[in-house]
Amino acid sequence: MDDAFGELRSLMNMDEVYREDRARLWGLLDAQSTHDPEAFASRWLPYLEGFPRHMGVYMTEVLGLEELEQVASRVPVARFKLTLAYSDYDAARAAELAASPWAANVGHLNLNRNAIGDAGARALAESPHLRHVSELHLGHNGVGPDGAIAWAESENLSPVFKLYIADNQLGDEGAIALARSRHLDTMSILKMSDNGIGPVGAAALANAPGLSGLSDLGLSNNPIGREGERALASSPYLSEYIRGRYGT
């Protein structure tokens, strides 16, 4: 057995592939798939398919659709961090991403500081490919209630562990939609600051059973008032840590 495959087996036999090990793993996959694609396809890929949990964490960061296609076509079992922040993405470009079959290889998507709006948010939410995103950044994108509703109704929200959707225009309607979503089972971090959310939206979040697993809820710079704070502080579902931040 060659040394590289032996190192691969050593990594795959660990209980978890931690962040510090991802660089080693990706280095192996990148080198083997580049220098000996035939052996990689015949031996390495079948082996890797037996470790879906290990391969479910993103391997490395890519900075555009073209780069995503390049790496995902070589290592189709891997997930990647796709960073598109500050990239002049509008609704049309978001729809292009949503339609790309390579979006199925995205495990972490950062679209902060663009202008996708509700139409772009809906395109992403309805994508048949964006099924494996565990961390989603949509901050400062002109997303309003319609975009929030689209994501709240989408099964693409189910694997999302961290949702950053601050500095948009969700309002109470958007907050209520997310609070009522049936796809919040894995949600741990929800950042919604600067969204025009008032007491009604805060109360909906406080009374959302689906948010019982949250470790952090960001609502700074929203006009929730004392009424909203009281609702959050007395929530039957939010964690003690979150409730305590709104208590007197």
Q: What would the pLDDT profile of 134-146 be if each residue is shown by its tens digit?
A: 999 999 999 999 9
Asked if residue 185 has pLDDT above 60, the reply is: yes
Using DSSP's 3-state secondary structure scheme, residue 59 falls into strand
Which segment of 20-29, 94-103, 137-146, 214-223 scores lowest on mean pLDDT? Answer: 20-29
Residues 30 and 75 in one domain: no
Domain boundary among 31, 55, 79: 55
Mean pLDDT of 35-45: 94
* Planar angle of CA 61, 43, 8, nearest 5 degrees: 50
Residue/partner pairs of 228-233 with CB below 8 Å, 24 or more apart? 228/197, 228/198, 228/199, 228/201, 228/202, 228/203, 229/202, 231/199, 231/202, 231/203, 231/206, 231/207, 232/202, 232/205, 232/206
Percentage of the residues of the chain whose pLDDT score is greater than 70: 99
Domain boundary among 55, 70, 97: 55
Residues 20 and 75 in one domain: no
Using DSSP's 3-state secondary structure scheme, residue 233 falls into helix
Residues 218 and 178 in one domain: yes
Residues 117 and 95 in one domain: yes
Domain boundary among 39, 55, 71: 55
Residues 39 and 149 in one domain: no
Q: Which two tokens stand for residue 142?
A: 């002109």
CA-nearest of 38, 28, 96, 34 to 59 is 28
Q: Where are the alpha helices (DSSP H) in the chain?
A: 3-12, 19-35, 37-39, 45-48, 52-55, 65-74, 91-99, 117-125, 145-152, 171-179, 199-206, 225-233, 240-246
CB 163 within 8 A of CB 189: yes
Mean pLDDT of 51-79: 94
Residues 63 and 165 in one domain: yes
Q: What CATH code is carried by the domain that includes residue 156?
A: 3.80.10.10
Residues 73 and 173 in one domain: yes
**Mean pLDDT, the chain, integer:** 95
Mean pLDDT of 125-154: 98
Asked if residue 248 has pLDDT above 80, the reply is: no
Residues 114 and 217 in one domain: yes
User: What pLDDT is recorded for position 8?
Assistant: 93
Residues 74 and 25 in one domain: no
Mean pLDDT of 11-16: 90
Single pTM value for the model: 0.95
> 16 or 72, which is more confident?
72
What DSSP letter does each residue of 203-226 carry, written as one string?
HHHHT-GGGTT-SEEE-TTS--HH
User: What pLDDT is recorded for position 1?
Assistant: 46
Residues 68 and 90 in one domain: yes
- The 10s digit of each residue's pLDDT in 69-112 is 999 999 999 999 999 999 999 999 999 999 999 999 999 999 99
Asked if residue 224 has pLDDT above 80, the reply is: yes
Whole-number CA gyration radius for the chain: 20
CB burial of 223-245 (b: ≥16 within 10 Å; e: otherwise) equals: ebeeebbbbbbebebbbeebbee
Mean pLDDT of 179-195: 97
Residues 103 and 150 in one domain: yes
Distance from the first to the final alpha carbon of the chain: 64
> What's the domain range around 166?
58-246
Residues 101 and 123 in one domain: yes
Q: How many domains does the chain have?
A: 2
Q: Which two tokens stand for residue 117?
A: 């709006």
